[in-house]
Amino acid sequence: MRIALISEHASPLATLGGVDSGGQNIYVTHVAQCLARAGHHVDVLTRRDDAALPRTVDLRPGVRVVHIDAGPAEFVPKEALLRHMPDFARASEQLVRHSVPYDLVHANFFMSGLVALRLKETLGLPFAMTFHALGLVRQEHQKEADAFPPQRIEIERELVRRADAVIAECPQDHADLTRLYDADPRRLSMVPCGFDPDEFAPQDRALSRARLGLKPDEFIVLQLGRMVPRKGVDNVIRALAQLPADVPARLLVVGGESREPDEMRTPEIGRLRRLARELGVLQRVSFIGHRTRSELRDCYAAADVFASTPWYEPFGITPLEAMACGTPVVGSAVGGIRYSVRDGVTGFLVPPHDPQALAARLLQLHLNPALARALGRAGIRRARSMFTWERVTDQLLEVYRAIRTANLPAEAAWPALRLVGGASGRTALGGARAAS
């Protein structure tokens, strides 16, 4: 098949760990590569955010990144991109009409869904929809801090009604799509995110610590990901402050807009440093900025425990990567983390915003290294058996083949993918145009 993965703001070429790069970038990159290894041709359509970028970039044989001109050729926060989606949709339609005859589209995030809806309406291309985050769930947790335009909710409802398949990433995502968006269960599938076992596997802790310049006798707590408030790094700092004074703990924080931690480029680092100073633990918190994918394995392997306590998390790939490296995870009992981490088996689940509960679990792992090793071994088994990108892609291909085969009128015989009525894609795009 020839497949278009649309990812308007999350390019496979972006630097990971920044404000607008993270799990979706990883997802799109690995799914595209696995599809190509399975013999399919994949184009990743993403917005040009740098004038120096070429029109297309070959990521590997069978995978191209196609830069779509929509808005200024510079970084634009994703919260401000909706106004540029009509241009993105028109340019994508011209690409398909005059260049590449795709068999189907897989849209990632609601704005990419708008583009896929345009291609379905004008060219008859079926599409699968992965939201990666839902606006109504975000509003429940972010409230007034949610900067996306209100049209997002209407657009998401439209996409849930009109996509040929909607892909949930975990049981919580599945439940939210049903509870908040009235998703038709006959067109709703669950396919998780994954990890690459060639990238993430156990390795010698002492050697990893030596390469990172970490002391061999410290109890290392790792936090890795985007530097934004909802990730709950402040919760981990508060937990660190509650550990007994005789615990030689250090929090290693990986992420940000630059390799060297820069408070101007990553304001969240400044906020977290001020908090650590107020709590008297600044000397035990090491911010090391973003790291390349090839360097992250050392970070996971060097840690005694990976702590991930966001307010909410649609899925969360980093706990999988930690588990794959044999590092036990203490994570928030929210979203995808509640699915990927088995409480008491591969790590522990704690409430978000509860540094005392987190501190208690960290102390337990410090005092019982044998338990930590057992949780780590179980994490490896769970990650490898359920969450490799190859397994994820095999499940996605089942969805792709089904919607391609079942691209029939609404009254067709196969009920699992029967299209449900709704407003037209042009109406949704009109809403986006009105937001500009």
| 142 occurs within a structural domain | yes
| 382 occurs within a structural domain | yes
Region 269-285: what's the mean pLDDT? Answer: 97
Residues 136 and 282 in one domain: no
Please answer whether residues 163 and 125 qualify as being in contact, where contact means their C-beta atoms are separated by less than 8 angstroms: no
Residues 358 and 409 in one domain: no
Residues 407 and 282 in one domain: no
Region 198-212: what's the mean pLDDT? Answer: 96
CA 211 to chain CA mean position, Å = 28
> Cβ–Cβ contacts within 10 Å for residue 198, how many?
8
Please answer whether residues 72 and 48 qualify as being in contact, where contact means their C-beta atoms are separated by less than 8 angstroms: no
Tokens at residue 269, please?
């680092």
Residues 7 and 115 in one domain: yes
What was the pLDDT predicted at 99?
Answer: 84
30-72 pLDDT per residue, tens = 999 999 999 999 999 999 999 999 999 999 999 999 999 999 9
pLDDT band at 14 (very low <50, low <70, confident <90, very high): confident
What was the pLDDT predicted at 144?
Answer: 67
Residues 6+ apart with CB under 8 A from 369: none
Region 326-349: what's the mean pLDDT? Answer: 97
Span of 11-25, 137-151, 160-174, 298-312 with lowest mean pLDDT? 11-25
Residues 6+ apart with CB under 8 A from 217: 248
Residues 295 and 323 in one domain: yes
Residues 322 and 430 in one domain: no
Span of 118-122, 146-150, 401-405 with lowest mean pLDDT? 146-150
| 199 occurs within a structural domain | no
62-111 pLDDT per residue, tens = 999 999 999 999 999 999 999 999 999 999 999 999 988 899 999 999 99
Looking at every residue in the chain, the average pLDDT score rounds to: 90
| 334 occurs within a structural domain | yes
Domain that holds residue 226: 205-386
What was the pLDDT predicted at 312?
Answer: 84
What was the pLDDT predicted at 415?
Answer: 39
Residues 68 and 51 in one domain: yes
Choose between 187 and 144: higher pLDDT: 187
What was the pLDDT predicted at 226?
Answer: 87
pLDDT at residue 314 greater than cutoff 90: no
How does DSSP assign 232-277, residue by residue? Answer: -HHHHHHHHHHS-TTS-EEEEEE-SSSSS--TTT-HHHHHHHHHHH
Choose between 315 and 17: higher pLDDT: 315
pLDDT at residue 431 greater than cutoff 50: no
What was the pLDDT predicted at 138?
Answer: 87
Domain count, the chain: 2
CATH number at residue 342: 3.40.50.2000
Tokens at residue 328, please?
């036990």
CA–CA distance, 408 with 373 (Å, rounded to integer): 52
Q: What is the pTM of this model?
A: 0.87
Residues 65 and 147 in one domain: yes
What was the pLDDT predicted at 116?
Answer: 98
Residues 178 and 39 in one domain: yes
Residues 421 and 360 in one domain: no
Please answer whether residues 291 and 299 qualify as being in contact, where contact means their C-beta atoms are separated by less than 8 angstroms: yes
| 38 occurs within a structural domain | yes
* Domain final residue pick, 386, 404, 427: 386
Residues 62 and 160 in one domain: yes
Residues 117 and 68 in one domain: yes
pLDDT band at 220 (very low <50, low <70, confident <90, very high): very high
